[in-house]
Structures are given as C-alpha cells and as structure tokens.
Amino acid sequence: MTERVVIIGNGMAGARLATELHAHGGDRKVTVLGAEPHRAYNRIMLSTLLAGRIGEADVELAEAAGHGTDLRTGVPVTGIDRVGRAVRTVDGDRIGYDHLVLATGSRAAVPPLPGLDSGELPHRVVPFRTLDDCRRILAVADGARSALVLGGGLLGLEAARGLATRGLATTVVHPTGHLMERQLDPAAGAVLAGTLAGLGVRIQLAVPATGVAADSAGVRLELADGRSLHADLLVLSCGVRPDTALAAEAGLVVRRGVVVDDRLRTNDRRISAIGDCAEHDGVLTGLVAPAWAQARVLAEVLSGADPLARYRPRPSVTRLKAAGIDLAAMGDATDGGPGEELTFTDPTRGTYARLRIHDERLTGAILLGDNPAVGTVIQLFDRGQPVPADRRSLLLGRASGAAVAAPAASPALMPDAATVCQCNNVTKGALVTCWRAGARSVDAVLAATRAGTGCGGCRDAVAGIVDWLSQADSVEVTR
C-alpha cells in the first residue's frame, strides 16, 4: 500500500525533506502544500537579492521538491483533522495522510506600536522575511532617497546594508545598547556600528520606537526620547515568531514552537515538525543548517532507512552576509564562565576578536573584520578540537603557530574531516570525492554536494579547493 506523506510548508525545510524522501525511494506519495505562490527559494539569500548582487532566479532552490512530488503552491492549509488523518486547504480540498509533517516556518514579528496593524501595514512599511516582502521593499525603494530599518539584529543589518548599497540614506533604529546583542558583546557591537557608519549606515541605539505614521509622502518613526525620524521607507526587522497556529488548533503540544522529540515527532506519532516551527529540547532553530539536518533525520525515519535515527543539534555559527563586513560569531563568547578569555580590538580598522577557551577547546568566539584565521576558528569550534598553544594565531590571524597556519596555507594540508560547508555539513573529503567522481567545475561540485546552497559563505572556500584539485590532478577547471 502506498504511504501518503503530506508536508505543510514549501520553505527551505519542507522542500529539503521532500527531496530527501525522493532520494530514499520507496512506495510513497509525497504532497507538499505551500502557502506562498512561489517555488521553494533560499530565504537567507534575500538580503543579497535586496542589495542587487543577484536576481530572483538565483534564490530559487534548484532541487525544489524532488521529481514526482505533488507540489501545490499558493495553497494555505486551514485545518488538521487528526482523527480522520486529513488536512483541509483554503480551496476546500481535503487531503488524507498517513504521516503529516509541519514545516510551517515562522512569521515576521510586527511590534505593537501605534500606527501599525499586523493585518494590514501601510504601503511604505514592510517586514523583511519573504520573497514578496523583498519585492515590496524594492518597489518602494525604487525612486526613494531614504530608509529606516527598525531592528539591529542580523537580518536588519543585512537589509540596511543592502538598501545603502542601492544609494538610500539608511538609518538603523535599535532599542538596546548595542547591535546584534544575541551574538555580540558591547565592544564588538560598537566596532560593528563604526564599520556600518563607514559604509553609509547610520545607527541609533538604546532608543525604542513609540509610534509610526505613514502616508503617500513618507514614514515618520516616533522615538521614546521625543525625536521623530522621517524616511521614504520603513523596514521592520523585529524578530520572527514560529508559525504554530495549525498545530495549536489541532491540539498538538506547543510551547514557543511545536514540541518534538529526537525523531522530530510531536505528541501525535503520525505528525512530525521540522524547521523554524519546531521546538526540540526547549530550543528553536531559526537557522538553515539545523533545519536541513532535521529534514535528513526525518527522511531516514519515515523512509525506513534508519527508523531509529535521532536528531542531534550541532554547534551553530552565525555569519553576517553584507558587502564590506566579515563577521562570525559562535558559542557563548558573550557570557562569563570558566576558562580563558582573550580579546583584541582595533576600531580604526574595524577589527575585533574575542575567544573563550575551556579545557583547551573553544567554547565561543567573535571575529569581526579581516582575520585570516576565521576558517580555522570555525573548524576548531565545530569539531571540538584542541586549540594551539599560541593563542595569538587565532586571536590576531597571524600564522605564528604551524598547527593553525597549515589549514589556511593550502587545501592540501586541510584534513579531509574539516567541515567546509556548515549549512550542509560538507567536508573537504566529500568535495575531493565528488571531484574525483567526475565533477570538474565549481558549479558541478556545488550541485553534487549541496555545498554553498545555504548561506553561500563557503563558496570561495569550495572554489579554492576545486582550484587546488585542478592543479594537483592537472585538469583544467571551469566556472
């Protein structure tokens, strides 16, 4: 009997799960129901689209939902019948399932300010979350001279840098005392603010917004200190909220997200949840790498390839993707605790580094600005390997220790187990194997391994390894 798997959500998690299930084969019908009217796209590349560095075609996920999958876009699900094992769609369809997967993602949070109605925002006020949001921002920005971004987190700063790149006078308004307070300490936030100022982005810190007024002439943002800021466009980047409405209405256990166990199962064993909407061990993901890892585990469980597969979260690394800014943050670098702490600051050059080391392992790091050791630091943190005796090589990016200089000097000296693509957990060894199996171009290696299809931050590293392989094997590489 053909098993019916229904996936609610055609975002990065839902589309990846459909592809993983297709790869496992078997007698199974997979139906994907996407509320958005588009094919699956890479949401974290929207800031690059906003900056004008890529086009819409470049954000579409080539693997989408897998061949043979029944993909229905622009079809929101309105309810779940757990007893009858079926979902209801907005167009009146009733679709039965043997196993249901919630990959409903999250929605942009709209702050409860006078002048803002989350149900219908003014034309010049746009959240930054979806492809349609990006299109609206670009439409308003066309011909605009100025923009405000409410929220100085990761996404808000990427949006601000993108708008500034397009020539708009851009100001970020953030209610706390420093930028990206979840990932950075105050010193790093101050250096980052200086770097952004040099790139044309003004920063207003420690000042909450108290109201918004918008009309055909522009937007006015009222601040708690009595000032008003005026612009042609206001972008909201005030965080996201897991989309758990369907799960809650169906009686599933919901806290901050839909609660799942190690096999991504909810309290109903015929329903699973992955991605931004899922809460595993009290933690929400919000990042692409864990969402894709969850999709991989769930595909193994549902296909029978490994019914006992378990999701085990890995340490995450946050990268800021904005032209002129190189930032990596990981672990608990901002918290106190046992062990060593090393810092270096050079605001003039926009450089900041902070490392936390306990029992000879990195427990956290912040690297802002040009630091040649950033790749090595990420590898050490990701794999839990011992740090070199000379910590300066990591802190300052100076090749003062052979143990650290080696991986950066040549791919030949990089261990095969070194992770090159964090989003898809692709190692150097996997890239080499792919090359020797016949993938003779950067694009071919990227397509075969999925490296570079997440945040895109590893593409230069992959290109460097492919170049090295082409020279070592005396084969010309194409791009």
Whole-angstrom CA distances from 17 to 24, 29, 162, 276, 290 are 11, 13, 31, 14, 12
User: What is the predicted pLDDT for the residue at 401?
Assistant: 40
Mean pLDDT, range 119-144, rounded to an integer: 94
Coil, helix or strand at residue 235: strand
Q: Which helix (H) or strand (E) holds 126?
A: strand 125-127
Closest alpha carbon to 417 in 405, 406, 430: 430
Q: Are 115 and 209 in contact (CB under 8 A)?
A: no
Coil, helix or strand at residue 134: helix
Task: Identify which has the larger pLDDT, 415 or 278.
Answer: 278
% of the chain residues with pLDDT over 90: 63
Question: For residue 436, how many other CB atoms are within 10 A of its CB?
Answer: 11
User: What is the predicted pLDDT for the residue at 397?
Assistant: 75
How do 361-368 and 325-331 pair as beta strands? antiparallel
User: What is the predicted pLDDT for the residue at 404?
Assistant: 39
Question: For residue 139, how many other CB atoms are within 10 A of its CB?
Answer: 13
Whole-angstrom CA distances from 168 to 99, 123, 126, 238 are 48, 18, 16, 21
Which residues, 6 or more positions from 370, have their beta carbon under 8 angstroms from its beta carbon?
326, 349, 351, 397
Per-residue pLDDT for 225 more than 60? yes
Q: What is the amino acid identity at position 286?
A: G
**pLDDT, tens digit, 9 for 90 and up, residues 17-71:** 999 999 898 889 999 999 999 989 999 889 989 999 899 998 988 665 555 689 9
- Site of tokens 């000097």: 409
What residues does 352 pair with on adjacent strands?
A: 345, 368
DSSP state of 265: B
**pLDDT-derived band at 385, boundaries 50, 70, 90:** confident
Coil, helix or strand at residue 302: helix
User: What is the predicted pLDDT for the residue at 93?
Assistant: 96
**The dihedral sign for the CA sequence 74, 291, 257, 157:** negative
- Site of tokens 């060894």: 429
User: What is the predicted pLDDT for the residue at 30?
Assistant: 96
Q: Are 65 and 40 in contact (CB under 8 A)?
A: yes
Mean pLDDT, range 418-427, rounded to an integer: 77
User: What is the predicted pLDDT for the residue at 463?
Assistant: 79
Q: Are 223 and 173 in contact (CB under 8 A)?
A: yes
> From CA 222, how far away is CA 228, in angstroms rounded?
5
Per-residue pLDDT for 403 more than 60? no
What is the DSSP secondary-structure string of 148-166?
EEE--SHHHHHHHHHHHHT
Token representation of residue 406: 């080696």
User: What is the predicted pLDDT for the residue at 457?
Assistant: 67
Q: Are 165 and 325 in contact (CB under 8 A)?
A: no
User: What is the predicted pLDDT for the residue at 429?
Assistant: 82
Task: Identify which has the larger pLDDT, 432 or 209.
Answer: 209
Residue environment code for 24-54, b if the CB has 16+ CB neighbours within 10 A, otherwise e: eeeebebbbbbbbeebbbbbbbbbbbbbeee
Question: For residue 472, how many other CB atoms are within 10 A of its CB?
Answer: 12
Based on the number of CB atoms within 10 Å of its own CB, is 390 exposed (0-12), middle (13-18) or buried (19 or more)?
middle
Strand order in the sheet with 278-280: 258-260, 278-280, 283-284
Token representation of residue 241: 């909220």
- Site of tokens 């600005």: 369
Strand order in the sheet with 70-73: 70-73, 28-34, 3-8, 99-102, 271-273
User: What is the predicted pLDDT for the residue at 132?
Assistant: 96
Token representation of residue 449: 């391994």
What residues does 362 pair with on adjacent strands?
A: 357
Chain mean pLDDT for the chain: 88
320 phi, psi to nearest 5 deg: -90, 120
